[in-house]
Structure 1
Amino acid sequence: MTTATSASIPVAEAADRSEAVTAALATVLDPELDRPITELGFVRSVGIDAGHVEARLRLPTYFCAPNFAWLMVEGARRALAALPWATEVTVVLEDHFASDEINHGVARGQEFAEAFPQLADPDRLEELRRTFLRKGFLAVQERLGRRLTDHGWTARQMAEARLADLPDRLITTLVRRRRTLGLPADGSDPVFTDEHGRAVLPAGMEAHLRRCRTVSVGIAANTEMCEGLLATRYGPDTAGETA
């Protein structure tokens, strides 16, 4: 990702704003791959001119699903608009068959169904988004479960563990995902739950982690394919770069 800042902004302030923009965009996930668009190389460039921020996005193929593309463009716009100093935000999706409709619709604050009335209804798009958030939530548990297992934890210990029992560095992402889904995330809540917030019992822990592993493997396979397609389309140094 390249970042350009206006010469009218003091150097120190320009650096702070650039970091803030990167951090904001890093909160936007590819809904299917469950990774920030900055890590995936989907942010081609950012321009900052006083209070105007422009982000230009790109995707692995010309025919990436328009609903997924919409979620990322809309998410990027919302994240940048939340910056306290941003007075104008422009997000542009490049090289996509539905770029015009997506860019125009998101800029006007439309819903996906308004821009693509033949493709979806609002409830379906929101449910799709939540479906992938739930998958990402299970994948986070798979990584945590593998780490605890490597340190000798038993299924019973994992089932009985509460969030307060683990250091913040291990559960930060897990807690954030739970809150995004509206699930309980207090220190007294169990570490391992299903996607609806129900605690996993000791007898079901191994099956739960196997299910999480299946989801995680699927996400990883899709990520590898998309990174390869992005590198083929835009060059070997684009995919997987960290903004």
Structure 2
Amino acid sequence: MTAVTEAVDRATAVNAALTAVLDPELDRPITELGFVRSVSVGTDDSVEVRLRLPTYFCAPNFAWLMVEDARRELARLPWAGECTVVLEDHFASEEINRGVDCGSSFADAFPGLADPDRMQELRAVFLRKGHLAAQSRLGRRLLERGWTHRQLAEAALGDLPERLTVTLRRRRALLGLPADASAPLFTDDQGRAVSALGLERHLLKGRTAGVGIDSNTEYCEGLLATRYGTAAGHGKEEAS
């Protein structure tokens, strides 16, 4: 393998790792949203990733989570040396970049402006919303194929091909909910199966959550394209 080929392969591995990093509010990978401006891998296996957001005033807590998550995913690459994540063109770039690089908490970086216990709960709130929206999308698809509400309520994750449940399994893993083949296909926030009687309302709540997520995503993609003159990514996670 040539040095050039190896560098390309490692840059590809970095981008693959970053697909695990979600915009909390939009429930989409930052790679698909166009938030990754550049990836570089040095001859010493150091990695630098530069991120950009749709506006100068994007919420600093969301920006922090994305930078922090990106750094964590890069650190998991077995070959990677020093890993740096740089947020560009944001009013709090300096505080966020320095804080994440030093391993500080958001509350430490923004003293008096943040509750130390709120960041993880904030992350969980949006993961639960994304999980609910993914269930609704999958439920509508299966109902269109002739499934009944009772069949949906009795189904397990393993009853469907993995490509149809990948988003559900990823969100549940992040939320600490059961994601094995025997886990219910449709669950509440605690991982309990949704009954056939409650499923229609459950799917309606998920549809409402999904509409909000999709509207915000379209808005942010437009802002990003306007700000930087390039279209954001339009790929989707595999499909539920």
* Counterpart selection for 2:112 from 84, 102, 118: 118
Shift of 1:241: 5.5
| 2:233 corresponds to | 240
Gapped runs of 5+ residues in structure 2? Answer: 236-240
| 1:139 corresponds to | 133
Aligned equivalents of 1:155 and 1:83: distance in 2? Answer: 43
- Kindly indicate whether residue 25 of structure 2 is the aligned counterpart of residue 32 of structure 1: yes
* Counterpart selection for 1:173 from 167, 177, 186: 167
Q: TM-score, normalised by structure 1?
A: 0.93
* Counterpart selection for 2:3 from 10, 15, 20: 10
Aligned equivalents of 1:33 and 1:182: distance in 2? Answer: 20
Q: Deviations over 1:23-55 (max 9, x none)?
A: 011110000000000110101111111211111
Shift of 1:186: 2.2
- CA 1:47/1:193 → structure 2, altered by over 3 Å: closer, same or farther? same
172-181 vs 22-31, greater mean Cα deviation: 172-181
- Kindly indicate whether residue 64 of structure 2 is the aligned counterpart of residue 73 of structure 1: no
- Kindly indicate whether residue 76 of structure 2 is the aligned counterpart of residue 82 of structure 1: yes
- Kindly indicate whether residue 178 of structure 2 is the aligned counterpart of residue 184 of structure 1: yes
- The answer as to whether partners of 1:38 and 1:241 remain within 8 angstroms in 2 is no
Report the number of matched residues.
233
- The answer as to whether partners of 1:46 and 1:55 remain within 8 angstroms in 2 is yes
Aligned equivalents of 2:144 and 2:103: distance in 1? Answer: 47
Aligned equivalents of 2:234 and 2:194: distance in 1? Answer: 36
**1:158-237 alignment to 2 at 5 Å?**
158-235=152-229, 237=230
| 1:107 corresponds to | 101
Q: TM-score, normalised by structure 2?
A: 0.94
Aligned equivalents of 1:17 and 1:31: distance in 2? Answer: 26
* Counterpart selection for 2:85 from 80, 91, 98: 91
| 2:238 corresponds to | none
Shift of 1:189: 1.8
| 1:56 corresponds to | 50
Aligned equivalents of 1:15 and 1:94: distance in 2? Answer: 24
Q: Give the match's secondary structure for 1:122.
A: coil
Misfit runs of 4+, over 3 Å? none
Query: Which amino acid is the alignment partner of residue 114 of structure 1?
Result: D
Q: Give the match's secondary structure for 2:58.
A: coil
